[in-house]
Amino acid sequence: MMNWDMTDEEKLLKVSAANFFREKMPINHLRRIRDTNDPLGFPREAWQDMASLGWTGILIDEDHGGLNFGFRGLGLILEAAGRQLAATPLLSTVAGASRLLQKNANLEQKETLLPAIAAGETIIALAHDEGQHHGQDISTHATLQGGKYVIQGRKSLVLDAALADQILVLARTDQGLGWFLVPHKTQGLQWEHFRLIDGRPAAHLSLQRVEVPASARIGTMKDATASYEDLRNACAVGLATEMLGAATAAFEMTLAYLKERKQFGVAIGTFQALQHRMANLYCELEVSRSVVQRALAALDEDHAKTTVFASLAKGKLNDVMHAVATESIQLHGGIGMTDEHNIGFFLKRSRINNELFGSASFHRDRYAKALEF
Amino acid sequence: MLQDFRAEVRQWLEANCPASMRTPTMEEEEVWGGRKEQFKNPESKVWLERMAAKGWTAPEWPKAYGGGGLKPQEALILKEEMQRLGCRPPLLSFGIWMLGPVLLQYGTEEQKKKHLPEIVQGKVRWCQGYSEPAAGSDLASLQTRAELVGDQFIINGSKVWTSYADSSDWIFCLVRTDPNAGKQQGISFMLIDMNQPGVKAEPIRLISGASPFCEVFFSDAKTSKDNLIGPLNGGWQIAKALLTHERQAISEINKKASELPLEIQAKHKLPTRNGQLADEHFRQRLAAWHMDNTAFEWTLEREMSLQKAGHSPGAASSMFKLYGTELNKRKYELMMEVSGFQSLIWEGAGDEKDRQATRDWLRSKGNSIEGGTSEIQLNVIAKRVLGLP
């Protein structure tokens, strides 16, 4: 049986993460990014602040300047971020890249990259998906020519695209899949920038004969299918954790509104039809918390069933966050449809997060495969 | 310390648990105790007596009342060691799950001394008299009357959905002792011996066939005023406390250890393609159920851990009752689809196990009605957890 209780250190981290996002990055921060057409989508100073708290190095071992506090710790930060809909590079750079590098990079790559991530100097974007859905076949390819890799292909929906210093590109090689670290300024990278429905920037990337040295390939020449699976697990769980925070916040906003909004001379929260909908969502949020906590711990344990647990967490949170977000609009009534009210951002974020790192049916399929049915 | 205890428990179980008691319980060999218990498997009697002598049928109850006097961590170790060895529970008992905790909290010293040891030893089997024909979800509108005449209460009325009333010895009952007080204020909680001419129990046949449910009729039944638990007209508070125990018991009871996992059944009986279920729509629904079921089990685990840290169980039991029973209903719907034509046969052809599954499917529809309907649980969550008016 896993340890469900929080350690004292975890309790402290939870409080400081909640304070940080409430003060520095409340939901209105996202609104401002959208309204000012902020091209980066995230302030570099805030990344520095997170680095000085140790958060950017939370998965990195102590020899490379990190805290080695694990996913249970990172989860507390991501949940707090999710509550404020703060879209930080923690998902790409920390949950994704830092774990991938820690587990797969060679000594030299670790020496250069891990301390830079921990210090907040390097932000890494992930360029893995292609086509319109997560999990489609990778057709971007990298060919070894005269000691250099030449990468050719097209990547969809890269988050933190304008902000990142380096891009981690997944490509097919003669020896299976490989990860390549490509500096943002490399010749041949063509960006197509756009805004997501919640106002955040992102971009498609096309790679036109992009040349990188052989040393840009992460780790050895071996096939990266397993490390891709691990990255998908880590990011799916990280995202599910943010979604748990966001769904909980939307639920609480809606609950408060039901107690305050009066119609027919009474608070609308007195109506049983509405009470039962909230009580059902409450139960769903409680079981969601369990799957998220279990999956976070599994990543730290390198549990044999990590894929099962990760797909359970992301699959469940896709459904639950979407249910909470859509019900929240309905229960807010007309005001919930206005741009002025923040509740609409939760619905938009829910749709985005449902597509990133796998939809609900994608994860049900993956879960069933892992359990062989 | 705890390590020593574990070693001691393990050794004792190895030495004392009879061989057939280390196999999964078959329904017909379940032991519920009481005067009518027949012990179909003689080793189950030996097992019960040995466990009861140590007080381990009710491990956490005080030794003074026949219990095991174990601390919560020790009781957990006992449970784990029994699971490790595959031990059957020596005794299934509403006395242990429901009445006992209430007597420990509200009973007088005499009442505890009289009833608790008999519960621990499985000598007296208890049933629960709550619902009435006109008082289901609106339990507080119950009408069964008890009048104090001299030293005795005289009881008249009827109870319904009383599980196992026909094989029980005593019944714990909610009765109206003050017809003029407000609904909740005029109710008392009392214990009644069923072995008397004024009490009659009749089984109820359900859509699933024969059932443990009964109707119980009281006509001038008698019980001593010493069998009143808590204050006169103060039974409602006790009823509510007991319901929390009942809800937790129901979410436990629904687990059937002997059933093959649903995904295994499905792969045996449905067409597959490349080792996967070919019907993608069914496969997705099965996965969704499987995920929710796992999520639910982890939530029980997490809540237990919270309760150990001092979190009060109160409203959580409503969530578990609601979620657990709805999951159980979903499971049986999927199981019926897996069995197809087989699942339609009531009697005659086919094997016994499939026919049982069909009855279990029908029976499962009652899970979200008994012990407080799902709608009542939603009310409790909305009011007590969410603070809605």
Give the whole-angstrom CA distance, residue B351 versus residue B361. 16
DSSP-assigned beta bridge partners for residue A144: A149
Q: Do A82 and A199 form a contact (C-beta atoms < 8 A)? A: no
pLDDT at residue B258, as a whole number: 57
The tokens describing B322, both together, are 């609601």
Closest listed residue to residue B198, CA positions, set B240, B247, B259, B156: B156
Whether B295 sits inside 8 A of A290 (CB atoms) is yes
**H or E element in which residue A109 lies:** helix A107-118
Q: In chain A, what is the straight-line distance between the N-terminal and C-terminal CA atoms, in Å?
A: 25
In this structure, chain B runs to a length of 389
DSSP code per residue over B147-168: EEETTEEEEEEEEEEEETGGG-
Q: Do A233 and A299 form a contact (C-beta atoms < 8 A)? A: yes
Give the whole-angstrom CA distance, residue A366 versus residue B166. 50
The radius of gyration computed from the CA coordinates of chain B, to the nearest angstrom, equals 22
CA closest to B303 among chain A residues: A4
DSSP-assigned beta bridge partners for residue A195: A201
Catalytic residue list contains B246: yes
Whether A367 sits inside 8 A of B295 (CB atoms) is no
DSSP-assigned beta bridge partners for residue A202: A159, A194
The tokens describing B41, both together, are 């498997």
pLDDT at residue B307, as a whole number: 81
DSSP code per residue over B7-51: HHHHHHHHHHS-GGGGSPPPGGG----STT---SSHHHHHHHHHH
Q: Do B194 and B171 form a contact (C-beta atoms < 8 A)? A: yes
pLDDT at residue B353, as a whole number: 78
Low-confidence ranges of chain A (pLDDT < 50): none
Beta strand ranges found along chain A (DSSP E): 124-127, 141-145, 148-159, 166-173, 176-183, 189-195, 201-213, 262-263, 266-267
Give the whole-angstrom CA distance, residue A227 versus residue A170. 11
Give the whole-angstrom CA distance, residue B236 versus residue B106. 12
**Given CB atoms, is B137 within the 8 Å cutoff of chain A?**
no
Burial B189-224 (b: 16+ CB within 10 A, else e): bbbbebeeebbbbeeeeeebeebbbbbbbbeebbbe
In this structure, chain A runs to a length of 373
Q: Do A236 and A202 form a contact (C-beta atoms < 8 A)? A: no
DSSP state, residue B132: B
Q: Do B181 and B236 form a contact (C-beta atoms < 8 A)? A: no
Low-confidence ranges of chain B (pLDDT < 50): none
ipTM score for this prediction: 0.95
The tokens describing B349, both together, are 């052809």
DSSP-assigned beta bridge partners for residue B190: B173, B228
The radius of gyration computed from the CA coordinates of chain A, to the nearest angstrom, equals 21
pLDDT in tens, A345-354: 999 999 999 9
Q: Do A201 and A195 form a contact (C-beta atoms < 8 A)? A: yes
**Given CB atoms, is B127 within the 8 Å cutoff of chain A?**
no
CB-closest option in A3, A272, A373 to B266: A373
Give the whole-angstrom CA distance, residue A167 versus residue A181. 6
pTM: 0.88
B129: left (phi over 0), alpha (psi -120 to 50) or beta: beta
Give the whole-angstrom CA distance, residue A254 versus residue A261. 10
Closest listed residue to residue B162, CA positions, set B183, B192, B141: B192
Closest listed residue to residue A366, CA positions, set A134, A94, A206, A87: A134
Closest listed residue to residue A371, CA positions, set B279, B266, B190, B2: B266
pLDDT at residue B59, as a whole number: 96
How many other C-beta atoms lie within 10 A of the C-beta of residue A214? 12
Give the whole-angstrom CA distance, residue A316 versus residue B232. 49
- Single out the catalytic residue among B246, B280, B370, B375: B246
DSSP state, residue A39: S
Give the whole-angstrom CA distance, residue B287 versus residue A9. 36
What residues of A are in the B interface, CB distance below 8 Å? Answer: 1-5, 255, 258-259, 266-267, 269-270, 272, 275-276, 278-280, 282-283, 286-291, 293-294, 312, 315-316, 361, 364-365, 367-369, 371-373
B55: left (phi over 0), alpha (psi -120 to 50) or beta: left
Closest listed residue to residue A224, CA positions, set A182, A167, A177, A168: A177
Half-sphere exposure of B93 (CA within 13 A, CB side): 28
Look at the block and give the residue holding tokens 């105790």: B33
Whether A288 sits inside 8 A of B290 (CB atoms) is no
* Mutate: best of A285, A290, A367, partner B, most B CBs <10 A: A290
CB proximity under 8 Å: B 245-274 to A: 263, 266-267
B215: left (phi over 0), alpha (psi -120 to 50) or beta: beta
Dihedral sign, CA of B93, B97, B99, B101?
A: positive
**Given CB atoms, is B163 within the 8 Å cutoff of chain A?**
no
User: According to the 3-state scheme, what is the secondary structure of B198-258?
Assistant: CEEEEECCECCECCCEEEEEEEEEEEEHHHEECCCCCHHHHHHHHHHHHHHHHHHHCCCCC
- Cα torsion B79, B81, B84, B89 to 10°: value is -50
pLDDT at residue B253, as a whole number: 55
Give the whole-angstrom CA distance, residue A138 versus residue A185. 23
Give the whole-angstrom CA distance, residue A110 versus residue A61. 10
pLDDT at residue B256, as a whole number: 56
3-state secondary structure of A153: strand
Look at the block and give the residue holding tokens 């237990």: B304
